[in-house]
Each structure stands twice: as structure tokens, then as C-alpha cells.
Amino acid sequence: MNTYPPSLSNFIISIDTFHGIAKCSKTEAQKIKSNFSLKYSLEIFMIMCAKFFYILIVLMAGLFPFKMQASETKQTFILYTPYTKISVPPGESISYSIDVINNSDEVKNATLALAGLPKSWSYEMKAGSWTLDEIAVLPGEKKNFTLKVDVPLKVNKGTYHFTIGADGLARLPLAITVSKQGTYRTEFTTTQPNMQGNSKSTFTFNATLKNQTAEQQLYALMAEAPRGWNVIFKANYKQATSAQVAPNASENISVDITAPSNVKAGTYKIPVIATTGSTSAQLEFEVVITGSYRIELTTPQGLLSKDITAGDTRKLELVVLNTGSAELKDIQLSANKPIDWEVSFEPSKLDRLAPGDKANVTAVLKASRQALPGDYVTKITARAPEADTTTDFRISVKTPMITGWIGVVVILAALGAVYYLFRKYGRR
């Protein structure tokens, strides 16, 4: 039996078939012809399908090694950080924590480099406290380093793209969006802009002065306070009228504000300003005065002197006045008296005294029996938790009447004795 190539065999079969058709009847010939056409069409379709799949397999075979190689490179060495696009204002610093992952079967040693970062920007790569340029990772392990990127103050608003690469083994695309237009500006801020107290209080505010410029600035510190108010600035715990701040640095400023003694209760706003020739910032403090506390001590007639006899008791009428704008509570009375003197008060204390009101108090003084004639000073104090006052009273001590008569009798007796002696012995 002869063997032929498939195409030649098909051709011979087709010739033989046609010869058979020629020898048959017309009906049989049509039937054979129809069967032959169907069979031949199916064979052609199968051949075309086979050629199509062959071409497809060839193409896939050509592309498959490249894809496998790329996939292998991508999977064996990876640079990873979870936050690849960050939005910040000008002057901020961003710290990326980047993992270097080695999924291969060998040690990978790669040089790290940053590409695409604008020239005015600065960056630093560190592992712990060391600056990093190259990294080696064992098979199946990962290492970590920090990438710090400093956004300058003078920068346009927009999104900036850059890439960190590892010697062609891996790339990590990053993006930073600058949220607003960069300017040369100053920030003057505080966490506590409001305080409340009485008129004798000192209100101390703590503020932060931040220089967000590229140059060192000497700020003049000023306050726009109402007349009679006192504002003191302190930098580095020293009283100052100016503060020097380095570029992109901050300085703590304390502000002491005191109100005048006669200030009325109410809310007062105190603007403070830090300014240079090129930049400035303003901060407003609010002081709430709850009322002024003042107290006075006097007598109904205004006389601050009294006479007393040694050993006697004398009453001194006093008047306690609330001359402030706030209520006084728990007013205590006391006296600084001479030795062996006694002083008591009726009443001993005042529970409360409204602004502008007065109260009468009686001081009971008892002089010492041994007190010599003369002037003595007794200090009487009226003290509330918020205010106090002390008034000096001059007390003149006089000799008792009986003591005077005794002195007269003694003098007369002495004169009588002298006269007697003169009469008795004078003639001799």
C-alpha cells in the first residue's frame, strides 16, 4: 500500500471519488457529490482551526518567557510603604517608613537613590541614627529604613511625583500634594486665649511665635492695650521687647497682662503683634474682669485718735466700707496692740459686704494698768480673702484721778515734813 502526504492523499481520494461518480447514475451521483462536499468542507475547517491554534501557541510561547521574567523580578525584590500619596502644607516634613523585601533565594545588595524630587526640596534616608545609601537583605527577609522629605516654604501649590529606586531591582513611586501656595509668613498662636479674674490678678498667657520664612527674623513685640493696662513680654523667661527666631523655628513667648486698679467688671480684648519689615502676625487675648476688690476702715467722723485711762476700757466706733466693684465675703477683724492691752470686736466678723455698702463695728479697748501716760498706736486690720486694709489709731493714755490725788498728798506730806524739820531745828 502506497503512503502519501495528507494533502496528496486527499487529492487522490477526491479524483477517485469523481471517477466513481462518473460511473453511477445521475441520482446516485448527486447523492455522492453532496456527501463529498460536506466531508470536504469539514476537513478544510479543521485544517484552518489547527493552523490558527498553532499560530496562537507560537505567539504565546514567544511572550511567555518575558512575562515570567518580569513577574519573577517584581516578586523577588520589593520596596513598600503604605502611604504613597500625602497632602501637606508648605514647610512641613514627611517621614516615610519603607520596607525592603527580598523574596529571592540569594542575598540582594542594592544602592538606594531618589529621582524626580524638585531641586529646592531636601531629603534624607536613615536606618536608625545612620545615613543610608546602600542596603543588603538576606533571602526571605526584609529591612526597614526611613525617608524624610522636607517641603520648602516657598513652593507652588500642586502635586509633585518622585521615585525611590533600588539599583534597578525595584521602584517605589511616591507623590506629595502641597495643599496651598507657599508664602513667607509668621504664625503667632496660643492654646489659651481667654482668662478670668479680679482686677488685682496678673493674667499670664503662653504663646508660640513660629517663623515660617527661609530667613532668621527679629520680631518686635507690641500690644494694643487700653489706657492704664500693663503688658509685659517674656522670651526665654526674660522680659523683652523683641524676639529672634531662626528659619522654620519657633519661640515660646509669655505675656503678662495686669489691669488698672479702678477697672470696671467686663470683658477686655488685648491684641498683641509680632512684626518685622517683611512679615508679621497678630494674636488677640481676652481678659474677663469679674470685679475689683477694695476695702477701707475708718470711723464715723473720720477721727483716728482716742483718749483712755490706764486700766480702763474704751469703745471705738469703726466703719468698714466695700469700695470695690465685687462683693466681699468673710471679713475678719484683728488688732496689733501694745503689750498687756486687750482688744475685741463686736461683731467679730462680717459674713458679706456688697459693693458700695458699709458696716459698723465696735472695737473694745482695755489699756494696761501699768501703762504710762503717753500716746500708743494700735493697728486694726479688716481682711477678706480678696482684699485687706490696716488703719493706725492713736490712743492717748492718761493717769487715773486717784493716782493724781495720791501724788498731791505725797507732795503735801513732803512739804509738811520739811516745814516741821525747819521749825524744830531751824532756830539752832
Q: What is the pLDDT of residues 356-413, one digit of tens each?
A: 899 999 999 888 887 788 888 889 999 998 889 999 988 888 776 555 556 666 777 7
Q: Is this structure's pTM higher than 0.85?
A: no
Half-sphere exposure of residue 212, counting CA atoms within 13 Å on the CB side? 23
Comparing 261 with 222, the larger pLDDT belongs to 222
Domain's final residue, options 238, 255, 289: 289
pLDDT at 72 over 50: no
Helix (H) or strand (E) holding 224: none
42, part of any domain: yes
- 415 in a domain, yes or no? no
- pLDDT on residue 20: 47
C-alpha cell at 231: 503688658
Last residue of a domain, one of 74, 96, 123: 74
Are residue 141 and residue 215 in the same domain, yes or no?
no
For the chain, how many structural domains are there in total?
A: 4
| Residue whose cell numbers read 490678678 | 201
Q: Are residues 215 and 192 in the same domain?
A: yes
Domain identity same for 319 and 372: yes
Model pLDDT, residue 303: 85
Tens digit of each residue's pLDDT (9 = 90 or more) over 187-199: 999 999 999 988 8
Q: Report the alpha-carbon distance of residue 332 to residue 380 in Å, rounded.
A: 11
Task: Answer yes or no: are the C-beta atoms of 96 and 145 closer than 8 Å.
Answer: no
Q: Based on the domain organization, do 159 and 197 belong to the same domain?
A: no
18 close to 29: Cβ distance less than 8 angstroms: no
C-alpha cell at 255: 505675656
Main-chain dihedrals φ then ψ at residue 334, nearest 5 degrees: -145, 165
| Number of CB atoms found within 10 A of residue 387's CB | 20
Q: How far apart are CA 170 and CA 72, in angstroms?
A: 12
Q: Report pLDDT for 70.
A: 41
Residue 137 placed within a domain? yes
In sequence order, what DSSP letters do the residues of 84-141 get, joined into one string?
Answer: -EEEE-TT-EEEEEEEEEE-SSS-EEEEEEEES--TT-EEEEEETTEE-SEEEE-TT-
- The enclosing domain of 241 has a CATH number of 2.60.40.10
Q: Domain span at residue 250?
A: 185-289
If one counts every other C-beta atom within 10 angstroms of the C-beta of residue 328, the result is: 28
Q: Answer whether the bond into residue 90 is a cis peptide, omega within 30°.
A: no
Mean of the per-residue pLDDT values for the chain? 82
Query: What distance in Å separates the CA atoms of residue 223 and residue 261, rounded to the nearest whole number?
Result: 19
C-alpha span between 291 and 266 (Å, rounded): 8
Q: How far apart are CA 407 and CA 92, in angstroms?
A: 97
Maximum average pLDDT range among 155-164, 183-192, 256-265: 155-164
Residues 185 and 178: their CA atoms lie apart, in Å, by: 16
Q: What's the whole-number mean pLDDT along residues 331-353?
A: 90
Would you say residue 125 lies in a domain?
Answer: yes
276 and 346 in a single domain? The answer is no
Q: Does position 218 have pLDDT exceeding 60, yes or no?
A: yes
Considering the domain architecture, whether residues 190 and 284 belong to the same structural domain is answered as yes
* Number of Cα atoms under 13 Å in the Cβ half of residue 410: 6
Position 295 in a domain: no
- pLDDT given at position 12: 41
Question: Is residue 211 in a domain?
Answer: yes
Average pLDDT over residues 47-76: 57
Q: Over the stretch 106-144, which tens digit does the pLDDT of each residue have?
A: 999 999 999 999 988 999 999 988 999 999 999 999 999
pLDDT, residue 307, reads 83
* 310 and 384 inside one domain: yes
Q: Could you tell me if 284 and 198 lie in one domain? A: yes
Does one domain contain both 170 and 255?
Answer: no
Which range has the top average pLDDT, 66-75, 78-87, 153-162, 401-410?
78-87
428 pLDDT tier (thresholds 50, 70, 90)? low
Cell digits of residue 192: 489659651
Q: Both 190 and 168 in a single domain?
A: no
Burial (CB count <10 Å: 0-12, 13-18, 19+), residue 381: middle
CATH value at residue 112: 2.60.40.2310
Task: Give the CA distances from residue 149 to residues 34, 93, 97, 142, 176, in Å, rounded to whole numbers and listed in that order.
Answer: 81, 6, 12, 22, 10
pLDDT digits (tens, 9 = 90+) for 286-328: 999 987 788 999 999 888 888 888 888 888 899 999 988 888 9
265 with 319, same domain?
no
More confident position, 44 or 106 = 106
> How far is 92 from 17, CA to CA, in rounded Å?
89
Compute the average pLDDT of residues 159-180: 92
81 within 8 A of 172, measured Cβ to Cβ: yes
With respect to residue 19, please indicate whether it lies within any of the assigned structural domains: yes
pLDDT of residue 416: 74
CA distance 188 to 217: 14
pLDDT of 67 reads: 42
Cell of 140: 526571605
Q: Residue 399 is placed in which grid cell?
A: 493717769
Closest CA to 257 of 294, 223, 221: 223
Q: Of all residues in the chain, what percent carry a pLDDT higher than 70?
A: 78
Whether residue 207 is found in the same domain as residue 282: yes
Domain boundary at 178, 204, 223, which? 178
- Average the pLDDT over 54-64 and give the result: 60
Strands 342-346 and 358-366: antiparallel
Q: What is the mean pLDDT of the segment spanning 255-273?
A: 91
Residue 192: inside a domain? yes
Under the banding of pLDDT at 50, 70 and 90, the label for residue 15 is very low
pLDDT on residue 61: 54
Strand arrangement of the beta sheet that strand 313-322 belongs to? 295-298, 313-322, 358-366, 342-346
Q: How confident is the model at residue 229 (pLDDT cuts 50, 70, 90)?
A: very high
